[in-house]
Amino acid sequence: MKKLCLILLCLFSMLMSVEAKQFVNITPMPKKMVVGEGTYRLPKSYTVDVAFLADSLQSEATRFVDIIRKTTGCKGKLVKSQKASISMQLDKTIAYEGYRLNVGERGIRVSASSARGFFYAFQTLKKMMPANVMAGMSVDEAQKAVPYFRAEACPEIAHVDIDDEPRFWYRGFMLDCGRHFFTVDEIKHILDGMAIYKYNYFHWHLTEDQGWRFEVKKYPRLTEVGSVASDCRMTDMEKGHYWLGKPYGPYFYTQEDCREIVEYARNLHIEVIPEIDMPGHIMAALAAYPEFSCNPEGEHKVQTYQGGVWTDVLNVGDPKAVQFARDVLTEVMDVFPGQYVHIGGDECPTNAWESNAQCQEHLASLIKEGKVKDLEKHRFRPLQSYFITQMNDHIKARGKKMILWNESVTAGGADLDLIKSTGATIFSWNPCQQGAAIAASLGLDAVITEWGPGCYYINRKQHDGEGEPVAAGTGRKSDQLPAVYAYKPVPDKVMDPNVKKHYAGVQATFWTEHVSDINYFNYLAYPRLLAVAEAAWSPEEKKDFEDFRTRFTADTMLFDLTGRLYGKHFIAK
Ligand code: ACM
């Protein structure tokens, strides 16, 4: 009998401890997290200790207090007192983007070494509260949006001990605004989504064959002509493809718009990386300034068909065209204060150069001067490598760094010595792992944005079930959420630390051939954006799809509140 009682007692306490394990919904999963049994309720009036913190760090607390007041009604005050409800400690031993967060009986303790670390700590804390807090809505507003939403006035937060820092320093998201345009407000909405999941770079693809979206004061026709297509293939989730049947545009961002986006992103600790794609994917610019093409007398137009690779490229053999590219980058660098400038370099056919006298002469003289190699095959490709070095000199002179797509190192005939000399960061998409391996072997940083299996191109169809809206790809297994989640950006075979250190991070990439509105954008991006965020932030060994699925399912309330459509294919039952 005694034995039976003991067994029953053990069973009971086991059950209790299972019950006590609280669900804490944080994506990306922190590096280390221990969940306690109790909860802490934020008092109606609470204090935040900011003693010894510089103003730039205190502003993170101010922003947190403001959002908590707006969403919960709890009123916070910044104080210098060790008895505060929330204490903020500067701890220089913590990694730049890392933080420690302790929620216990007596309150909350947040430590970090930078404003960004405090920002991420507060993002985590907000994520542990009811979804209206992260959504930035009062409970009333939330109930209007989702009638069954429930939350108490002052949030109860689980006891936790978190010690967190990201796996990669580069955690990016790219949006193609060349093929279809997204408004400033829509971009802010996208940035908000990125910040929830701790992305830190917004790669803004601003120019394409189908549209030039960045205002350049020295070349006004770029936006007067280049931002208008005579027609446009639109895509609607219900109707599928349809032609607009009238001009699409003018759609572009003024330099003021760009500054507004940069500032908005800065507050979310996101750096904006502008991309001006050159020397290919530049038809919209050549429609405006045909003199910089290889056949100025020919027909040049803003491309209306949304996909494809076109042979109408910049005349890199013409010093005036090269100066045009420099001038554009000058204005880009005036407007975007970040460290990086992306100059594209993907999918650039050499056909136009091959039949252009200036390019032929330019190549011959570069070979003669020993500046590029004299190749039998892919003879004209070195012209692109050389052009890249010219742009790099210009970017470097402003103290900035250049980014390129992987064709700069994977295209046949690419001059690897020249590319190595630039110190560029390589964004690798196709062949992704091969591109990254070449970049790393050259000592260049690589960012993984796999377009193929386990796809980080999150504009592709996310499922092959009936009724899925038209999109790129097949939606079969390799495009689906579990494959995206399972993809290993750094393969196990990469072991040499001198190579491994060049795997700088990952990026979710969104092309808009098939997406012309924000709802459809959200539908394809979520939840795959979360899967890439977890690859970017969480240690590989912490990843667990079933656990992720539970967290993503809980986040659907946040998506519903903020009007984000999402794919429902893998929601937990
Ligand atoms: C690319 O997908 N063309 C970078």
Q: Whose CA is nearest to atom 1 of ligand 1?
A: 346
- Dihedral sign for Cα 467, 469, 470, 475, please: negative
Instruction: Answer for the pair 341, 333: CB distance below 8 angstroms, yes or no.
Output: yes
Ligand 1 centroid, distance to 236 Cα (angstroms):
23
Q: How far apart are CA 455 and CA 448, in angstroms?
A: 10
CA 328, chain centre distance (Å): 24
Model confidence at 86, in pLDDT bands (50, 70, 90)?
very high
| Residue 346 CB–ligand 1 contact under 6 Å | yes
Ligand 1 centroid, distance to 374 Cα (angstroms):
28
Model confidence at 93, in pLDDT bands (50, 70, 90)?
very high
Average pLDDT, the chain: 95
Least confident of 12-16, 287-291, 292-296, 563-567: 12-16
Closest by Cα among 84, 114, 78, 80 to 96 = 114
Residue type at 382 in one-letter notation: P
Closest by Cα among 278, 424, 425 to 346 = 278
The terminus-to-terminus CA distance of the chain in angstroms comes to 41
pLDDT, mean of residues 285-301: 97
pLDDT, mean of residues 503-513: 98
| Residue 347 CB–ligand 1 contact under 6 Å | yes
Q: Coil, strand, or helix at residue 335?
A: helix
In DSSP terms, 110 is beta-bridged to 88, 101
Distant-in-sequence, close-in-space partners of 59: CB < 8 Å, separation ≥ 6? 115
Ligand 1 centroid, distance to 275 Cα (angstroms):
12
Residue 307 confidence (pLDDT):
87
Instruction: Answer for the pair 109, 50: CB distance below 8 angstroms, yes or no.
Output: no
Surface-to-core class of residue 3, CB atoms within 10 Å of its CB (0-12 exposed, 13-18 middle, 19+ buried): exposed
Q: How far apart are CA 532 and CA 425, in angstroms?
A: 20
Ligand 1 centroid, distance to 433 Cα (angstroms):
14
Ligand 1 centroid, distance to 429 Cα (angstroms):
7
In degrees rounded to 5, what are phi and psi of residue 32? -135, 135
Residue 10 confidence (pLDDT):
45
Distant-in-sequence, close-in-space partners of 368: CB < 8 Å, separation ≥ 6? none
Beta strands at 107-112 and 86-90: parallel, antiparallel or unpaired: parallel
Ligand 1 mutation target, pool 207, 277, 346, most atoms within 8 A of CB: 346
**Neighbour tally for 364: CB within 10 Å:** 11
Q: How far apart are CA 399 and CA 408, in angstroms?
A: 22
Instruction: Answer for the pair 165, 31: CB distance below 8 angstroms, yes or no.
Output: yes
Q: Whose CA is nearest to atom 2 of ligand 1?
A: 429
Ligand 1 mutation target, pool 405, 457, 507, most atoms within 8 A of CB: 405
Surface-to-core class of residue 46, CB atoms within 10 Å of its CB (0-12 exposed, 13-18 middle, 19+ buried): buried
Residue 263 confidence (pLDDT):
98
Ligand 1 centroid, distance to 426 Cα (angstroms):
12
Residues, the chain, total? Answer: 573
To the nearest whole percent, how much of the chain has pLDDT over 90?
94
Instruction: Answer for the pair 388, 404: CB distance below 8 angstroms, yes or no.
Output: yes
Q: If you compute the radius of gyration of the chain from its CA atoms, what whole number of angstroms results?
A: 26
pLDDT, mean of residues 305-309: 90
Model confidence at 133, in pLDDT bands (50, 70, 90)?
very high
Ligand 1 centroid, distance to 57 Cα (angstroms):
38
Ligand 1 mutation target, pool 429, 432, 460, most atoms within 8 A of CB: 429
Structure tokens at 127: 């994520």
Model confidence at 153, in pLDDT bands (50, 70, 90)?
confident
Fold of 23-164: Chitobiase; domain 2 (3.30.379)
Q: How far apart are CA 219 and CA 290, in angstroms?
A: 12
Q: How far apart are CA 201 and CA 340, in angstroms?
A: 10
pLDDT, mean of residues 489-508: 96
Q: Coil, strand, or helix at residue 427?
A: strand
In this predicted model, what pLDDT tens digit does every residue of 256-278 receive, in sequence order?
A: 999 999 999 999 999 999 999 99
Residue 18 confidence (pLDDT):
44
CA angle, 75 as apex, 74 and 76 as ends, to 5°?
A: 120
Q: Which numbered atom of ligand 1 lies nearest the CA of 405?
A: 4
Residue type at 262 in one-letter notation: V
| Residue 405 CB–ligand 1 contact under 6 Å | yes
Ligand 1 centroid, distance to 24 Cα (angstroms):
37
Residue with tokens 């690589």: 446
Q: How far apart are CA 163 and CA 353, in angstroms?
A: 55
Instruction: Answer for the pair 116, 95: CB distance below 8 angstroms, yes or no.
Output: no
Q: Whose CA is nearest to atom 4 of ligand 1?
A: 346
Q: How far apart are CA 122 and CA 112, in angstroms?
A: 11
Architecture of domain 170-561: Alpha-Beta Barrel (3.20)
CA 484, chain centre distance (Å): 15
The DSSP element (H or E) to which 312 belongs, if any, is: none
pLDDT of 6 above 80: no
Q: Which numbered atom of ligand 1 lies nearest the CA of 281?
A: 3
Ligand 1 centroid, distance to 346 Cα (angstroms):
6
Within the chain, what is the greatest distance between any pair of CA atoms?
100
In this predicted model, what pLDDT tens digit does every residue of 361-418 receive, in sequence order?
A: 999 999 999 999 999 999 999 999 999 999 999 999 999 999 999 999 999 999 999 9
| Residue 429 CB–ligand 1 contact under 6 Å | yes
So where are the chain's domains?
A: 23-164, 170-561
Q: How far apart are CA 81 and CA 334, in angstroms?
A: 43
Residue with tokens 């807090």: 133
Residue 13 confidence (pLDDT):
47
Ligand 1 mutation target, pool 342, 347, 432, most atoms within 8 A of CB: 347
To the nearest whole percent, how much of the chain has pLDDT over 70?
97
Q: How far apart are CA 151 and CA 72, in angstroms?
A: 9
Distant-in-sequence, close-in-space partners of 320: CB < 8 Å, separation ≥ 6? 291, 292
Ligand 1 centroid, distance to 360 Cα (angstroms):
27
Residue with tokens 């660098």: 333
pLDDT, mean of residues 126-149: 97
DSSP letter at 174 equals E
Residue type at 521 in one-letter notation: F
Q: How far apart are CA 390 and CA 386, in angstroms?
A: 7
What is this structure's pTM?
0.96
| Residue 431 CB–ligand 1 contact under 6 Å | no
Q: How far apart are CA 315 and CA 290, in angstroms?
A: 10
| Peptide linkage before 30 cis (omega within 30 of 0) | no
Residue with tokens 């996101």: 270
Ligand 1 centroid, distance to 556 Cα (angstroms):
30
Q: How far apart are CA 371 and CA 385, in angstroms?
A: 10
Ligand 1 mutation target, pool 430, 450, 460, 510, most atoms within 8 A of CB: 430
Residue type at 571 in one-letter notation: I
Q: How far apart are CA 316 and CA 302, in angstroms?
A: 20
pLDDT, mean of residues 453-475: 95
Structure tokens at 505: 């991070």
More confident residue, 253 or 2: 253
Ligand 1 centroid, distance to 379 Cα (angstroms):
23
Residue type at 514 in one-letter notation: H
